[in-house]
Amino acid sequence: MLADLRSIPMKIWMIIICIWMVPLLFGLIIQDSSLGAIWFIYLGLVVLTSYFTGLQGGLIIAFISVIIHISFGLISFIYTGYHATELFYLITHSILQFLLAFAIGQLADKLKDKHKEVEDIFNSLDATIWSHDLKKDTIIISTGVELIYGYTGKEFAEDPSLWNKVVHPEDTKIAKKMNEDALSGLPTNTIFRIVRPDGKVRWIQDKATPIFDKNNNLVKINGVVLDITERKLAEEKIKKMAYYDYLTNLPNRKFIHERLTKLVNQSQETISHIGAVMFIDLDGFKQVNDTLGHDVGDKLLIEVSRRIQDSIGNEDILGRLGGDEFVILADDVDEIEGGKIAEKIISNISSFPFIFNKDSVYVTPSIGICMYPFDGDSAEDLLKKADYAMYLSKNLGKNQYQFFNVREDIQLSQLP
């Protein structure tokens, strides 16, 4: 009840005080009787009841108070007689009570309707709206919190540390920085992951707005949390379409080019940092497509990519440029290590046939290798030279690897 009284707007309190004081002063000073004090109590009950219960409750309490007062008036009339002036005041105060009950009750009903409308919108949003009162150290949370977090507002109220517990372990630093900025009075717009009670991971976007008082003190933080999991999945899908091969799920040409550019830049910053670019082309792939069809050809590319993946290190990157062309970015390896990787790839691909519908398919790899930063200072240049070395392998008999060298660099520079 005390909390409800505190929630009454200041304008309503002013109306209540005026309603209480006017008849009290009128009755005690002008009439020189206790009649005003009685109406003081009745009017107060009417106003408060009208505010909390609405129009219907206000009219009922007004009717009851008038009946009670008339009853006392009749008793007074029987014993002492009732003067016309007193009857006038009785009728006037009765009408005043009903008018006040009607006006305030109607106002209360409208306020409650608006409040319910806002609350319905507040709770029906597919989002969590929250408000942290720093002075009272209380948090108001919409019911949408359960839809996103999987926990109720009550659970968060009982265990405030739950806000930190639900954050994905890899995103705790992001969430901590967000909280620090918000408590420092900075607006935040942070994206991170949470883990629901069922173990599912959701992406959320938490926007917080600081509220200051007239002395520029931070008194409240209002915020909204949106579930952006579907958006993140769509972004990942678009990214995958842009950077990964649709058939093998390997990084595509764009991915390889951007990653190789970064590796070259790192190698130029550190003299001892070297790596290998390996260009692989399958010998006999066209014949498989022509004789067994493109479906078998696609399956062959998938199986070849798996055998190559089994031949390289976990840190090495295998990509498909298109057709039967693959590229490996082997960072932090020298020529000897690069040669060993190539030998393993040749062995894994050519030593055993690929079986499709009882058909045994044999293909062999021709591999060209160049080293960065020695053989080139750009991704485009390195891929071009590794490709040239690969064609040298084909010309020398296939199913082998060759390194790019200076003499070939001179020959390549003479090409149109």
Q: What is the pLDDT of residues 124-180, one digit of tens each?
A: 556 788 889 998 888 888 878 888 999 998 898 889 899 999 999 999 999 999 999
Cis peptide before 373 (omega within 30 of 0): yes
Reference 258, options 380, 385, 404, 373; nearest CA is: 380
DSSP category for residue 414: T
In a domain, 17, yes or no: yes
- Residues 117, 130, single domain; the answer is no
- Residues 171, 100, single domain; the answer is no
- Quick one: pLDDT at residue 137? 85
Segment among 94-103, 205-214, 284-293, 331-340 with least mean pLDDT: 94-103
Q: What is the CA radius of gyration of the chain?
A: 41
Domain that holds residue 105: 2-123
Identity (one letter) of the amino acid at 31? Q
- Residues 80, 220, single domain; the answer is no
DSSP category for residue 247: T
Residue 410 pLDDT exceeds 60: no
- Residues 275, 315, single domain; the answer is yes
Reference 43, options 15, 67, 62; nearest CA is: 62
Contact indicator for 370, 254 with CB cutoff of 8 Å: no
> What percentage of the chain has pLDDT greater than the value 90?
55
Give the C-alpha distances (Å, rounded to integers) separating 220 from 6, 12, 121, 236.
18, 25, 22, 36
- Residues 314, 403, single domain; the answer is yes
Please tell me the total count of domains within the chain: 3
- Quick one: pLDDT at residue 61? 61
Give Cβ neighbours of residue 171 (< 8 Å, ≥ 6 apart): 192, 193
pLDDT tens-digit map of 31-57: 445 555 555 555 666 666 665 665 566
Q: Where does a domain end: 97, 123, 149?
A: 123
Confidence of residue 3 (pLDDT cuts 50, 70, 90): very low
Q: Where does a domain end: 233, 264, 287?
A: 233
Q: How many residues does the chain have?
A: 416
Confidence of residue 195 (pLDDT cuts 50, 70, 90): very high
In a domain, 238, yes or no: no
Please work out, in degrees rounded to the nearest 5, the angle formed at the alpha carbon of residue 305 by the alpha carbons of 304 and 311: 95
- Quick one: pLDDT at residue 57? 62
With 0-12 / 13-18 / 19 or more C-beta atoms within 10 angstroms meaning exposed / middle / buried, residue 319 is buried
Q: Where does a domain end: 123, 155, 176?
A: 123
- Residues 103, 164, single domain; the answer is no
In a domain, 66, yes or no: yes
Which structure tokens are listed for 107? 């106002």
Q: Is 226 helix (H, G, I), strand (E, B) or coil?
A: strand
